[in-house]
Amino acid sequence: MNILIVGCGRTGRRLVPALRARGHQVAVLDRDAQALEELVQEGFDGPTIHGPAIDADALHQAGVESCGAVLAVTGQDDVNLMVAQMAKELFGVPQAIARVEDPARSRVYGERFGLELVCSTELTADALLAKTDPNARRQTAAEAAPALPPKPRRKKPEGPRVCIVGGGKVGFHLARALLERGQTPVVIEREESRCARLANQLELPVICGDGTSPQVLEAAGCRGAAALVAVTGQDEANLIACQLAKKQFEVPRTAARVNNPKNTEPLKKLGVDITMCSTEILTRLLEREVETSALRHVMSLSGGQADLTEVLLPTDFALAGQTLTQAPIPPEVVLVSITRSGRLLIPRGGTVLLPGDRVLCLARDEGLRQLMRDWKLEPKR
C-alpha cells in the first residue's frame, strides 16, 4: 500500500522503517528541508517532498491521490487535523489518521467528525498508569482534558454576540467595527501583550487562550453566539476554530480569513461558511488600478466573490449617445445606478450613456473585464 507520512519529526522518522519493513511504499512530506535530508542520510531512498503540509499542490506532488493511507504526524494538532480532512474529503484517501496531543480535540474530532485519531497524551498517560498501577482505570479524553477556565464576568450583551479568534490588526479593527454597530464581540487571543492592548483600548471581553481549544471557546461563550470569525495568521487554526464552533457549539455562521489563496476552496469544502482572502482582494484592486483609471472599487460582496465598482465614462467615450438597450452589457454585469452631474438615475433600457457619467456596476472580475472591452475603455499607458 502507498502511504504518505506528513511530518518528518521523531514520530514520522520512526514510522518510515517500520512501515517499509511491512512492505508498504512510503513517501514523506515536510516543510523542513534539513529534516528530510537527515532522513535520506539515514538510508531512506523513497520520495521526499519539501513543502507545507496544508498546501493542496504539495499533497498532489506527494502523490496523495494514489495513497491508501495518510498519516499526519507533525507537531501541530491543527495542521494534522486539516491534513487528515483534506486527504479524505478533497482527495478521497480511504484512511487518514491524525496525531493529536490535546485530549479534548481528540474527543471532539473523533465523535463529531468521525476522524481516526491517535492522542499521544492519552497513550503516554496510559503507559505511565500501567507501569505504576496495573489495575488503574483508563482515563477518558473528557476526564484527561483540563478543567474549563472560569467564564469572564461581563455586562449582559446588548447586541448579537460574535466570537473573534485572533486579536491582531484584523481582529482589533473588526472588533471595533462591530462595537460601533451595536454588536457584542468577544475576542480570543493567545498572546498576552495583544490581550492587554485589546482590553485597554476596547471595552469588550478578551479571553487569553488558544482559539482552537474547545475549553477556551466554551469559556468565551461560543455556545449561543451568532457567529464566529477566525482571523489568525494560520489557515489551519482558522479552519479548526470554525469547525469546532459549527459542530461542537452549534454556531450558525462562521467566517475565516484565508492567508494562502490556495486554501480558499479547501476551507469552503471543509465547512467554513465564508472565506475572505486579503491577498486575492488586494490583487484584484491593484490589477484594476493598473488596468484603467476609469474604475473605482466601492465594495466587495460575499467575501470578495463579486464587487460593486464605479465606472467613469471618459470625455471620448466611444459609445456616447447610445442607450443601454443599444450598448453591449455582459450578462454577468448588473448596472445599479448612474450618477450624472450629481443627480442619481435608475438605469432603464432607454437611458442614454454620456461622457462624465459614473456607472455603478455589480459584477465578478471576468464580467467587469468584458464590460471594459465592450465599452472600449482603454487601459492606462
Residue 190 cell numbers, joined: 493567545
Report the amino acid identity of residue 324. Answer: L
Under DSSP, the state recorded for 304 is G
Do residues 242 and 230 touch, judged by C-beta distance below 8 A? Answer: yes
Residue 130, SS3? helix
Taking each helix axis from N to C terminus, what angle separates 10-21 and 33-41, rounded to the nearest 10 degrees?
40
* DSSP secondary structure, 81-108, as one string: HHHHHIIIIIT--SEEEEEES-HHHHHH
**What are the 10-residue block averages of pLDDT along the chain, 381 residues in total?**
93 90 93 93 92 91 93 92 93 92 86 85 73 55 46 48 90 88 90 89 90 92 92 93 93 90 90 84 61 69 77 91 94 93 92 94 88 79 43
Pairing outcome for strands 2-6 and 25-30 = parallel
**What pLDDT was estimated at residue 122?**
80
**What pLDDT was estimated at residue 378?**
62
Taking each helix axis from N to C terminus, what angle separates 192-201 and 169-180, rounded to the nearest 10 degrees?
20
Backbone angles phi, psi at 50, to 5 degrees: -95, 115
How far apart CA 362 and CA 174 sit, in angstroms, is 25
Taking each helix axis from N to C terminus, what angle separates 103-111 and 120-132, rounded to the nearest 10 degrees?
120
Residue 215, SS3? helix
Residue 118 cell numbers, joined: 491517535
**What CA–CA distances, in Å, run from 338 to 163, 333, 352?**
39, 14, 10
CA 340 to chain centroid = 41
Do residues 200 and 219 touch, judged by C-beta distance below 8 A? Answer: no
**What pLDDT was estimated at residue 286?**
59
Beta bridge partners of 312: 358
Do residues 55 and 78 touch, judged by C-beta distance below 8 A? Answer: no
**What pLDDT was estimated at residue 150?**
45
**What pLDDT was estimated at residue 214?**
92
**What CA–CA distances, in Å, run from 195 to 148, 186, 204?**
19, 11, 11
Phi-psi region for residue 302, left (φ > 0), alpha (ψ -120 to 50) or beta?
left
Domains of the chain (ranges, CATH numbers): 2-143 (3.40.50.720), 161-279 (3.40.50.720), 292-374 (3.30.70.1450)
How far apart CA 48 and CA 33 sit, in angstroms, is 9
Kindly provide the residue ranges of all beta strands, DSSP E only, lying in the chain, ordered along the sequence. 2-6, 25-30, 48-50, 69-72, 95-100, 116-119, 161-165, 184-189, 206-208, 227-230, 254-258, 274-277, 295-301, 306-312, 334-340, 343-345, 358-363
CB atoms within 10 A of CB 149: 15
Q: 104 Cβ partners below 8 Å, 6+ apart?
A: 141, 142, 145, 146, 213, 214, 215
**What pLDDT was estimated at residue 295?**
76
Q: 49 Cβ partners below 8 Å, 6+ apart?
A: 27, 28, 29, 30, 58, 61, 62
